[in-house]
Structure 1
Amino acid sequence: MNKILLNLIAIVLALLFIFPLFWMLLVSLKPDGVSVYTLADWVNWSDLNIDNYVKVVRDSHILRWTWNSVVIGVLTTVISILISSLAAFAFSKLPFRTRGIFYLVIVSGLLIPTEAILIPLYETSLHLKLIDNMWAIILPGLTNPIGILLLKQFMDGVPKDYIEAAQIDGSRNFRLWWSICLPLTRSAMVSVGIFFFILSWNNFLWPYLSITSEENMILSAGLPTFLSNNTMSLNLIMTASAIAAIPTIIVFILLQRHIVQGVSMSGVKG
């Protein structure tokens, strides 16, 4: 009986989360000016079309913004995972005298809000001539303490016997990281990678400040520009929002199994 009740609660919560997405999609497919507020509007699908999508794509740089977001998200994710996993390996498996101090310094970075470093970050990017360049967004996003923290916890679960056996065979530190720690923490790295990608995708404040030309904007920074020019059209606003949400939904659907494994596993299979 308790299991049935829990399943019903889970179904209700799932419907509550899906409802806004379905409403957004439905409004985006309705003709411009047609609202979806009554039950009749919900069940009437005869007027659905993709005219709003055509108009948004034609009258804005949304495809360019989406491409910029994908490129920046992928580069940030891949490079961040490599850097975070190397640092996590060092803190987890390499004994050195100042390990605790450096680890504390890195983790303390979680306490610093992004807003507190915007001015020095902008000054640095300006002197390096990175303003209005995608590397102005990518480089600051490569040092994320949460990735090091999470991956270290998983690498702590890698048995010492594996490391010692590889060291006896003559493997050096880079080989230990590449051949042992990376394969055994693959699910954790995918989970952290998804987190990095979504974080990069939703990043707004710094990209909005560092990118000055409209064609170089990412989706999260370009959407407010589009929405401000179409405040009277709910259909176009929902269409742009749907386009922005589609890539992250696809990523989550394709990789949700790895997210569950990353949460449930200790970092080592078997």
Structure 2
Amino acid sequence: MKRWLLNIAAALLALLFVFPLVWMLLVSLKPDGATVYSLSDWVDWSGLNADNYMKVIRDSQILRWTWNSVVIGFLTTIIAVLFSSLAAFSFSKLPFKTRGIFFVLIASGLLIPTEAILIPLYETALHLKLIDNIWAIILPGLTNPIGILLLKQFMDGVPRDYLEAAQIDGSRSFGLWWRVCLPLTRSAMISVGIFYFILSWNNFLWPYLSITSAENMILSAGLPTFLSNNTMSLNLIMAASAIAAIPTILVFVLLQRHIVQGVSMSGVKG
């Protein structure tokens, strides 16, 4: 009986989260000016069409913005996860005298809000001639220390016996990371990678300041500009929002198994 109650509660919570997405999709497919506020609007599917999506694509550069966001998101994710894994391996498995000091310094990065470093960050990007360049968004995105902190916890769960066996076989530090820690923390790395991708996808303030041309904008910075010019059309707003939500939904649907494994496991059990 208790299991049935938990299942019902989980289903209700799922419906609660899915409801806004379904509403957004229905509004985006309705003719311009139509709403979905009553039950009759929900069940009336006679006028559904993709005209709003075509208008959004025609009147804006949303496909280019989406492509820029995808490229920046994947590059940021791959590089950040790689560097975070190497750093986490060093802090977890390699003894060196200043390990505690450097770990505290990296962890303290979580205490510094992005808004506090915008001016020096902009001056640095301007000096390096990175303004209006995708690397102006990618490089600052690599400095988030959360990946190092999370992956270190997973690296701590890798038994020392595995590393000693690999050392007997002739593996050095890089080989220990590549052959032992990397395979055993794959689920954790995927989970951290999803976090980095979503963080990059939703990044707004710094891309809005560092990108000056419309063709180089990412979706989170370009979409508000389009929405501000179409505040009277809820259908167009929902169509643009649906396009923006599709990539993150796909990432979650395709990789949800790894997200669950990354949360429930700590690499291996020692």
TM-score band, normalised by shorter chain: over 0.9
Matches within 5 A, 1:72-91: 72-91=72-91
Matches within 5 A, 1:151-190: 151-190=151-190
TM-score normalised by the chain length of structure 2: 0.98
Aligned residues: 270
Say whether residues 1:29 and 2:9 are aligned partners: no
Does structure 2 retain, via aligned residues, the 8 Å contact 1:84–1:151? yes
Q: Deviations over 1:126-152 (max 9, x none)?
A: 000100000000000011110000000
Deviation at 1:102, TM superposition (A): 0.4
Superposed structure 1 runs of 4+ greater than 3 Å apart: none
Matches within 5 A, 1:242-257: 242-257=242-257
Say whether residues 1:68 and 2:91 are aligned partners: no
Letter in 2 for 1:193: G
Letter in 2 for 1:90: S
Q: Deviations over 1:128-182 (max 9, x none)?
A: 0100000000000011110000000000011101111111221111111111110
| Separation in structure 2 between the aligned mates of residue 207 and residue 36 of structure 1, nearest angstrom | 34
Does structure 1 retain, via aligned residues, the 8 Å contact 2:56–2:62? yes
Structure 2 spans left out of the alignment, 5+ residues? none
Deviation at 1:13, TM superposition (A): 1.0
Q: Deviations over 1:33-79 (max 9, x none)?
A: 11111111100001000001111001100000000000000000000
Deviation at 1:269, TM superposition (A): 7.0
Does structure 2 retain, via aligned residues, the 8 Å contact 1:184–1:269? no
TM-score normalised by the chain length of structure 1: 0.98
Q: Which moved more, 1:7-16 or 1:59-68?
A: 7-16
Q: Residue 266 of structure 1: SS of its match in structure 2?
A: coil
| Separation in structure 2 between the aligned mates of residue 8 and residue 223 of structure 1, nearest angstrom | 37
| Separation in structure 2 between the aligned mates of residue 76 and residue 211 of structure 1, nearest angstrom | 17
Structure 1 spans left out of the alignment, 5+ residues? none
| Separation in structure 2 between the aligned mates of residue 81 and residue 143 of structure 1, nearest angstrom | 11
Corresponding residue of 1:241: 241
| Separation in structure 2 between the aligned mates of residue 113 and residue 136 of structure 1, nearest angstrom | 18
Alignment root-mean-square deviation, CA: 0.9
Letter in 2 for 1:68: N
Corresponding residue of 2:222: 222
Does structure 1 retain, via aligned residues, the 8 Å contact 2:158–2:269? no
Does structure 2 retain, via aligned residues, the 8 Å contact 1:130–1:136? yes
Does structure 1 retain, via aligned residues, the 8 Å contact 2:130–2:136? yes
